[in-house]
């Protein structure tokens, strides 16, 4: 009985770790010359002074940079690259993308569905 319980826990942790390493995300951000486009069904909004803003800089969020940019934390990101926000709220590069693909195709590839685009755009990064 004990052995079965231990094997069950090992299998559960294995499935949990596989889910954490997937490239799919619930929130995908696309940074381009027009600012920041937000996609995803799990986006929450928080009050920032007198206005509401999307609370999207969360661990697991995918950020697709079409242009070179600097994050709020001072990290430099290169255009044509895809990053994931880690548990320390920093970005880790996970790959590059074909610049000829549309935002909708990239969002579909990395997780969120293009239909989940939130209205409007955030300010430029």
| pLDDT, tens digit (0-9, with 9 covering 90-100), for 74-121 | 999 999 999 999 999 999 999 999 999 999 999 989 986 666 555 444
| DSSP-assigned letter for residue 41 | T
19-65 pLDDT tens trace = 444 456 888 999 999 988 888 877 777 888 888 877 888 899 999 99
Domain ranges in the chain?
Answer: 23-116
Task: Give the per-residue pLDDT at 82.
Answer: 96
Strands 62-65 and 81-85: antiparallel
Q: What residues contact 11, with CB distance under 8 A and at least 6 apart?
A: none
Closest listed residue to residue 79, CA positions, set 57, 64, 92, 95: 64
Task: Give the per-residue pLDDT at 75.
Answer: 95
Task: Give the per-residue pLDDT at 117.
Answer: 59
0.75 surpassed by pTM: no
**pLDDT tier for residue 124 given thresholds of 50, 70 and 90:** very low
Q: Alpha-carbon distance 117 to 91, whole Å?
A: 22
Contact call for residues 53 and 45 (beta carbons, < 8 A) = yes
Contact call for residues 77 and 9 (beta carbons, < 8 A) = no
Q: Alpha-carbon distance 101 to 63, whole Å?
A: 15
Task: Give the per-residue pLDDT at 113.
Answer: 61
Task: Give the per-residue pLDDT at 10.
Answer: 37
């Amino acid at each position: 009985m004990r052995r079965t319980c231990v094997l069950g826990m090992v299998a559960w942790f294995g499935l949990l770790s596989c889910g954490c390493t997937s490239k799919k995300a619930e929130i995908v951000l696309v940074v381009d010359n027009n600012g920041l486009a937000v996609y995803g069904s799990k986006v929450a909004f928080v009050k920032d002074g007198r206005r509401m803003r999307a609370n999207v800089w969360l661990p697991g969020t995918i950020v697709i940079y079409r242009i070179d940019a600097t994050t709020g934390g001072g990290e430099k990101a290169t255009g044509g690259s895809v990053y994931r926000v880690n548990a320390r709220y920093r970005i880790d590069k996970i790959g590059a993308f074909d610049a000829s693909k549309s935002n909708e195709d990239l969002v579909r590839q990395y997780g969120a569905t293009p239909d989940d685009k939130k209205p409007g755009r955030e300010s430029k990064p």
